[in-house]
Amino acid sequence: MKKGSKWPLAIGISLGVVFAVNIAFLSLALWSDDGLTDRDYYEKGLKYGERIKTERELGWTLRLSTVAGGTGIKDVKVSLLDRDGGVIQGAMVTLLVMRPATGGFDAVHELKDEAGLYKGQVVLPLEGWWDLRVTATLGGKSVEETFRLKA
């Protein structure tokens, strides 16, 4: 090797850059949001087939409509229908609002039953896509459906 060769320096710098990038990715993986929307996702996954079977047996349908109520505010209406299209009253209907692209904006709302039309108001503080997970429970049985909405 010639005296004053720059190869050892170049190899050392390259290894240093690779090491620094690996440390940055490791830090990002350990201290960033994991993106999970449910704390008990594993248990829900195990019971998924059972939940789908129960929903089919019930024959309930959820319908969602929204109307802009101001900047970032949406008036939400949910209909819970039986197999024949009749309105089901007296259920507890909750709405989980989630932003798929960013964590930290999730909110749960309980909708009010007004003669079988479940109503509420949600605030969507950022523009973009939002997931609205509606869960209706009556007599120990429930149905769940997720709707995607652009704010």
Is there a domain that residue 68 lies in? Answer: yes
Predicted local distance difference test score (pLDDT) of residue 73: 87
Number of domains into which the chain is organized: 1
CATH number at residue 132: 2.60.40.1930
Cβ atoms of 51 and 58 within 8 Å: the answer is no
For 7, the token pair is 């190869």
In angstroms, rounded to a whole number, what is the distance separating the alpha carbons of residues 82 and 123?
29
- pLDDT (tens digit, 9 = 90+) per residue, 26-68? 998 888 876 666 678 888 889 889 888 988 999 999 999 998 8
For residue 102, give its domain range. 60-150
Q: Return the structure tokens found at 26.
A: 């490791």
Contact status, residue 124 vs residue 97, Cβ threshold 8 Å: yes
Cα 29 to chain center, whole Å?
Answer: 20
Residue 2 pLDDT exceeds 90? no
Cβ(121)–Cβ(74) below 8 Å? yes
Decide if 143 is inside a domain.
yes
Residue among 54, 61, 64, 70 nearest 111 (CA): 64
Query: What are 62-83's pLDDT values in tens digits?
Result: 999 998 877 788 999 999 999 9
pTM greater than the 0.85 cutoff: no
Q: Which of 25-29, 73-77, 83-87, 99-103 has the lowest mean pLDDT?
A: 99-103
